[in-house]
Each structure stands twice: as C-alpha cells, then as structure tokens.
Structure 1
Amino acid sequence: MTVSLYPNFQILICDDDTTFLRSISFAIERYCGINNTVQCSDSRKVLEHLAEGNIRVVLLDLNMPHISGEELLPQIIELYPHISVIIISGLNQVTTAVQCIKLGAYDYHVKTEEPERLASGIFRVVQFQELGIENEAMRQQLLNNKTTLDPAFSKIISADSQMHSIFRYIESISKSKQPILVTGESGVGKELIARAIHETSQCAGELVCINVAGLDDNMFSDTLFGHRRGAFTGANQSRQGMIERASGGTLFLDEIGDLSLASQVKLLRLLQEGEYYPIGSDTPKKINSRVIAATHQDLEKKKEEHNFRNDLYYRLKIHHIEVPALRDRKSDISLLLEHFLTLAAEEFSKSCPTVSSELHFLLSNYDFPGNVRELRSMVYDAMSTCEVDSLPLNAFEKIIGGAKQSSLPRTFTAPLFQNLTTLPTLKQANNLLIEEALLRAEGKQSLAARILGISQPALSKRLKKREDE
C-alpha cells in the first residue's frame, strides 16, 4: 500500500539528540498527520539538505555541536527566504526567543512543551506555507493565462468562461488539504466538480462520496467514523468508517446543508482537531483525506436562522466554488445537447438524430430550473421515443410547457412597464411584442409564433393587418 505524504513539501528536523528527533517526528504525525519529514542529527549537513530537497519548514535546535542553530538561522533566512524556521530549545529564555524572532525565525518553542501543543504550533506553520503556495499558484495562473486544462475537466462539458475560471482555480488549489465548499443549484454538476478536484490533486487514495441528507446523528457517526465490534447491540464485527476508506484521498460530503446540528458539532471537531474516535473506541484516529462539502442550500441564510453553525461554515469555506446555473451559461446548452444525444443514442442503439434550429432556439430561451440534470432527462426521454432522423420538438415542448410556456428569460419576469409614467396602448404593445419576437427568432415566423403563444397563421394575419394599416 502506497503511503500518502503530507504536506506536499518536506519538513527538515535538525537536532543532535536522536531520541528527540524520533519523538518529535512521532508527535507531529500522530497529532497533525505530518509525515513528510527529513531528519538530520548533524548541523553541518543542514544547508546540504536544503539545497537538495523540497523543504519549506525547518525545525532547528538552538544548541548543537559544530554549528549552532543561532548561527544557521541567518544563513537559512538569507539563502532561502521562502523557508519558515522554527527554533526549538531546551531552555525557556525570553531574550533568546526575541533575538531569534528578530533574526527571522517564524516561531520559538521549548522542548519541554506538551507534545500536542508543540505539534499544533508546527502545524500552523505548515498551513501558513500551504496558503502561500496556493496564492502563488493562483497568481501564476492569472499571469500565464493558461489555456491548457487538466484532463480531469474533460468530463465537464463547457466552453463557458465562468466555468473555465473555476477549472483554473481548482488547479491552483488542488494540492492543498484545506476543505472546499462547492455550492450551486441542484443539477449543476457539483459532484463532477468534486471529482475534478480529486483527480487534479493526483492523490493516491480514492474519492469517497456520502450523501448526508437524511442521516440521523447516530447513522452519521457510524458512517463516517465506523465502529468497533461490540460497540452497540448488533455490532457483531468492526466496521471501517468512510474517513478511513478515504485515507490518502478525498471525502466528499454532499447535501451538507441538511446535516443536523448535533452532527455539525462532530464534523467541526473533525476539521479542527484532525482526528476522530470510531464508535466504542478510546483510541483516536487521524484523518488523512481532503474534505469537500457541497450543498444547493443558502448556508448564509441557514446561519442567520441558527440552523447551520457559523464556525463550521467558515471551516468548510476556506476555498469556495460557486457553480453557475445553466441559464447563466447558455452557450453550453448546444454542447451539452450534443453530448447527451450521443450518449443516449448509444444507450438506445439508435443513430444520432439531427437537431433543428427551432429546438436550439426553444432550449436557449428556457430557464432550466433543473439545470444540466434536467436537460439530460429531456434528451433521454426524447431519444427513447425518437424513430425519425430529426429530433422532434414535441418531447421537449411537453416538458417546457409547449406553446403556452413563456420562453422569455427571467430578466423579463418583472413588470415590463414599471418605469414608465404612461402606458402604451394595446395596439402599440401588440406591435412591440411582435417586433421583439421576430427579432429574437431572427425573422423566422414559426419561431416567433411559438414565443408569442399563437399559431403561425395567426401571426401572419397580424403582420398582414399591420401592413395594410
């Protein structure tokens, strides 16, 4: 089994006391999941390690033979300004600590501190470095205006600029282990986004997906944390939790907005402490997976209503991706229509039909409250009954509402004349509607008639009447 290393950069621990080297390495792995370390017991080799490795954090003993930590500190700061140096000393001396900070040390710790507290201090430095790496990656993405996307995004059919900005953002944060919150309406493809994040991270573990909607607190705990044999009645054997299954990979929690308040407390502790207890166990386990949460609900509103914890919200939202609705990326409708037609034709063992301009127009002026999922359902339903070379309109009109369905975009649902001091006459309004419909239909009377909810002969009669007046 491949061991997943965290973080993505190395941490150099230098101390002439090999016993302390082993103990501090064990402590940061136990309490923080940090296992990408390099141990060095000879201070003369520190600069050699820095030149060869991908090191971003150095733990440096202050008092060592050959070269002391106080001598090495300014050399490291000068040669490698991007590296954070933590001084560790056996003595709690305020003046020495202040001097080290002035020389450029990030922090100062005493060896006699509690192992958990010392490990937490080191973890904060690791998080600081991670955020710096992410910010630099995002800056490079913007400066380079990268056009070649990771193959992981090939499953998300889109030519929309908003979506491609999301793809670039995902690439810039893919190596981080910080949580990500994915929001957007139902059907926009939040799980596809989660899969893309997982694949771009190139982590060794798997993507484990859990829909937490409907899980009571006991089921939530058992699903995530697992249990030991005999933990409760019916627990005849131990059960591995989904967190353990996602080790080295990604844990995707869908419908997080439906999580009960009791379960929210447990999830918050998991994210804060990085550890959990399987049901019936007194021994904690470390989480070694990235957490992605998704919801279609307005968490800001749920916070205000005291149905979602404020602290959990900000823990989950370290990185945030808002997936736009399909009506806000209309250019993707034709691409998705073609994609779903190909898939449906293969499934029903039929040839792929042609699509009329009327259908393209009908779909481009529909709001798609169910988003991409709704379009897919429309296409599969139409293909199931399609026996001709051209995809019929009636299957789509049946769902959209046919000729009686107003196909005007949402921007026209507000009162049309609210800013006018005087109203147009019925005749003027009638002519304006006809002109707008013809404009939208690019002069095609059949399409204009569909927009107006009348038959084509009725529209022709109105146009002729206008010409005769």
Structure 2
Amino acid sequence: MTEALVPHFSILLVDDEPAWLRSVSLTLARAGINNILTASDSREVPEILSRGQVRLVLLDLTMPHLPGEALLTMISEQHPEILTIVVSGMNQIETAVRCMRLGAFDYFVKTVEEDRLVTGVLRAIRMLELERENQAISDRILSNQLRHPEAFVNIVTADRTMLGIFGYIEAVAVSRQPLLITGESGVGKELVARAVHTLSGASGPLVAVNVAGLDDTVFADTLFGHVRGAYTGAEQARRGMIEEATDGTLFLDEIGDLSIPSQVKLLRLLQEGEYFPLGSDRPKRLKARVIVATHRDLKAKEEQGAFRRDLFYRLRTHQILLPPLRERPGDIPLLLDYFLAEAAESLGKKKPTPPKELAQLLATYSFPGNIRELRAMVYDAVSVHRERILSLDTFIKAIGPAKEQPPPAAAQDHNLFSGLERLPTFGEAADLLVTEALARSGGNQTIAARLLGISQPALSKRLSARG
C-alpha cells in the first residue's frame, strides 16, 4: 500500500550541499513529513515552483548561481502563497532581520538542534493547513451546498443547523488538526466522527475508544500499547489503539472524564506527534487524525481546574456543537419513520403505521436522552406491537406526565396582549388556549394536555365545565 503523503502540499529543500538535503529529508521523515522535493541547483527553483505543488520552501542563503536572498525576493513577489524558512550557516542578527523583511516566515542557523527546525516546519505547515481550511469553510458557507451528501446518509435530519454543520464537516474533514465534538449524550457524536472519517479519504480504519472511567495506567496502555515485560503479566507485546488507527482516525469519546495525568499524556501526543509504548524508550509517530468528543462543558471544567487549559485550546482548533433533539423538533417525524423501519427489520416484524398524533405527542417532550432515547422508545413500542396501527400507550408511559415548560423566547420578549383594546378574562384566555391546543393536537386530549402543561384529568374537567 502506498504511503500517504504528508502534508498535502510539497515542501522544497534548496541547498547546494547534497549531504544537508539528505540529512534534513531524513529528519523530517522521522517526524512524519514525507512530501519533500529537493533542489541542489538554485536555478531549478523557479521552474519547480511554477508547477504549483510547493507551499513551503527551506532555503539556504549561500549558493552559487542564484543566491538565497535573490530567491527569497522572487518567491515573496511572484509566489506570495508560499512560505519560506531560511536555513543559513550564518548566525548574524542583521542577516536574519534582512531576510524577515524580505518575507521569510522564519530563520534558523544550520547548527541549531534538529528538533527546533522540525518544530518550525510543523508550525508553518499548521498555518498553511489552517489557511486552507478557513478558505474551505468560507467556500462552503457561500455555496450553501454539500459536495458529498452521501457521507451523511446515516444522520437523519432536515434541520438547517445540522445541514450547516455538515458543510463545516466537509471543510475540515481532511485537516490533520484535532476535532472536538460536543453535545448532550445521545445526539449522535460518534455518527459525526464516522462521517468525518469517511470524508477524510483516509486509507486506515476508524478506531473508537471510550475513555470514561479509565485510570491513567489503563489509558496509557490502551492508547500506547506496551512491550513484552513492561509490567507484571505483560507476557506479550500489544499494539495500542493509536497504532491500530494508523493512516486512519482515532476517536476518543467522553474526553471530559480524563484524569489530569492522562490529559498531560494526550497533550504531549498532540503537540509532539509521538508517544512511547509502556516499557519502551523508542518513540513511535502518531499517524492518525484525532477526533475527541464529550457531553461535558469543557470550558466550565477548565475554569474549575479539572481540565487543562492548554489541552482545551489545543483540542478546539476545529469544534462542532451538536444541538439536542428538543431544538430539532422538525426531525422527529423523520427519525420516527427511520427507527420504525429499523426496529421492524431488527425484530422481524412488518413496519407498523404510527398514529398521526404520535409525532405531535413526541414534540411535547424534552428528550433528555436525545436521539438515543427516541430510538429506545421506538424499539420498545415495536417489540410489543400487535395491531396494524402503533399504539400511543407505550410512548405516553415512556415520556411520563407533562412538566411545566418555560415560555418560548418570543413570548418572553413580546406581550401577546399589548395590542388588545380589551383584555380577555382568565376564563376567556383559558378557553382560547384549550381550543388552540385541541386544534394543534388533532383533538387528542392527551397531547393537548401536554401542550398546555396540565394533566389530562384537569383538561377533561375544564372541557366538561364548558359543556
């Protein structure tokens, strides 16, 4: 299998010393950077750049033919989209300042430690990738169209907010930066992670790990693996989940429950791009996209000192907040139909016909368990279903009695009676509310009572009093 090129653009190394070109190429390759071109003759550079594949140049200053400063000027003027890092044998402040004024992104002396040079290259790559991703996000917003709707086939929705999230996912799916997915339990965070993985085009698998409840040692062993003899009972070496996800996606669910020591390990993994299997002193490279998810409020945990600030900001480079089901009432009929078909097939039954009032009944419920709770309700109802029309009873029992809900935001901001010349009496207002609730519920008193926030016996009593 052909190794994936990293980054997606080419990096050009320019120096008249072939030994330096080989050395830096190997150093970058050890850091996982393999999309590299080299030029030992500076006269070749203009033609190489004209092909449009290069976005980053590592440039020596002292070369025959075309000197480095002349190339730096040419790149700044003719290829402003390309970043240039000067790597010179001259440790002179004046030279460094002049190069920066000519447009260099960074300046390193050749005798500097290799790790510092790699860090500078990674910083430039990250800037270019973020620039590309921001442009992609802008393009999606302007076009307002999905290019790959098939990637979201398992996420049932017609909600405008969700469709906007799909556009954002398309824009950041190919990024190598972490992705943070937040939202209440049951909103479908893993489905979103799988859509991102599909759109990334990664050749490797998606490996999902729920890290909730893992202590620091188990977390490290699960992710990093271990060598033989790493601890008592480690009779065989074991690959960690990071290695299992090579060239694919590592999805860490419930990241908000990680202990502080485990957070430190995750931060180092993301920053350095490498890790040590337990019992080993030889590092391995991270070769997977990392996606994390949580139902926790990480900002609140960070303010409380329960989540590291540096990790929090490292994770939120790209962030998705999934809305709860109660904010997507229009999706309830779609999800209901989807889960009825799924449950019927799973249970070996014919798909039942839902009563027309069911979707309206479900829309009165807040669904604290979100889509997962709705799915469980449907499966329970289909499992006991006997007639052609699905019974409301299972759902009524599951959602329980009506609870008083806060008024909609529009009602809080606007006085419904402010334009009336005569205020209705309490009795008249109550009658109007009852009439409207019955109209919206199709005459179903159970649903009407839930819409009004009262019990069904209380509604029946009022209807009897009206005669």
C-alpha contact (below 8 Å) 1:109/1:118 kept by paired residues: yes
Distance 1:409 1:338, change over 3 A: farther
C-alpha contact (below 8 Å) 1:365/1:407 kept by paired residues: no
Q: Give CA deviations for 1:212-240 in whole Å, capped at 9, x if unaligned.
A: 01111110110111111111111111111
| Matching residue of 2:420 | none
Query: What is the SS of the residue equivalent to 1:331?
Result: helix
CA shift for structure 1 position 461: 2.3
| Matching residue of 1:272 | 271
Q: Does 2:9 correspond to 1:9? A: yes
C-alpha contact (below 8 Å) 1:2/1:204 kept by paired residues: no
C-alpha contact (below 8 Å) 1:150/1:200 kept by paired residues: no
Letter in 2 for 1:255: E
Letter in 1 for 2:12: L
Q: How does 1:261-300 map to 2 (within 5 A)?
A: 261-300=260-299
| Matching residue of 1:453 | 455
Q: Give CA deviations for 1:145-193 in whole Å, capped at 9, x if unaligned.
A: 2244442111111110111111111111112111111110000001111
Distance in 2 (CA, whole Å) between partners of 1:59 and 1:240 is 36
| Matching residue of 2:434 | 434
| Matching residue of 2:25 | 25
Letter in 2 for 1:229: R
C-alpha contact (below 8 Å) 2:402/2:449 kept by paired residues: no
Distance in 2 (CA, whole Å) between partners of 1:3 and 1:50 is 24
Letter in 2 for 1:454: Q
Distance in 1 (CA, whole Å) between partners of 2:232 and 2:353 is 60
Distance in 1 (CA, whole Å) between partners of 2:372 and 2:209 is 19
Distance in 2 (CA, whole Å) between partners of 1:87 and 1:412 is 60
Distance in 1 (CA, whole Å) between partners of 2:177 and 2:192 is 16
Distance in 2 (CA, whole Å) between partners of 1:55 and 1:462 is 81
C-alpha contact (below 8 Å) 1:253/1:294 kept by paired residues: yes
Query: What is the SS of the residue equivalent to 1:297?
Result: coil
Letter in 2 for 1:461: S
Distance in 2 (CA, whole Å) between partners of 1:372 and 1:268 is 32
Q: Does 2:251 correspond to 1:234? A: no
RMSD: 2.4
TM-score normalised per structure 1: 0.91
Distance in 1 (CA, whole Å) between partners of 2:44 and 2:279 is 47
- Percent sequence identity over matched residues? 53
Question: How many residue pairs are counted as aligned between the two chains?
Answer: 455
Q: Does 2:172 correspond to 1:173? A: yes
Q: Does 2:67 correspond to 1:71? A: no
Distance 1:40 1:409, change over 3 A: farther
CA shift for structure 1 position 336: 0.6
CA shift for structure 1 position 430: 4.1
Letter in 2 for 1:463: R
Q: Does 2:143 correspond to 1:144? A: yes
Q: Does 2:327 correspond to 1:328? A: yes
TM-score normalised per structure 2: 0.92
Q: Does 2:461 correspond to 1:462? A: no
Distance 1:444 1:463, change over 3 A: farther
Letter in 1 for 2:379: Y
| Matching residue of 1:37 | 36
Q: Which runs of 5+ in 1 are unaligned?
A: 465-469
Distance in 1 (CA, whole Å) between partners of 2:103 and 2:39 is 21
Distance in 1 (CA, whole Å) between partners of 2:448 and 2:40 is 81
Q: Give CA deviations for 1:240-275 in whole Å, capped at 9, x if unaligned.
A: 111111121111110111111111111111112211
Q: Give CA deviations for 1:281-334 in whole Å, capped at 9, x if unaligned.
A: 111111121111111111122122221111111111111111000000111111
| Matching residue of 1:159 | 158
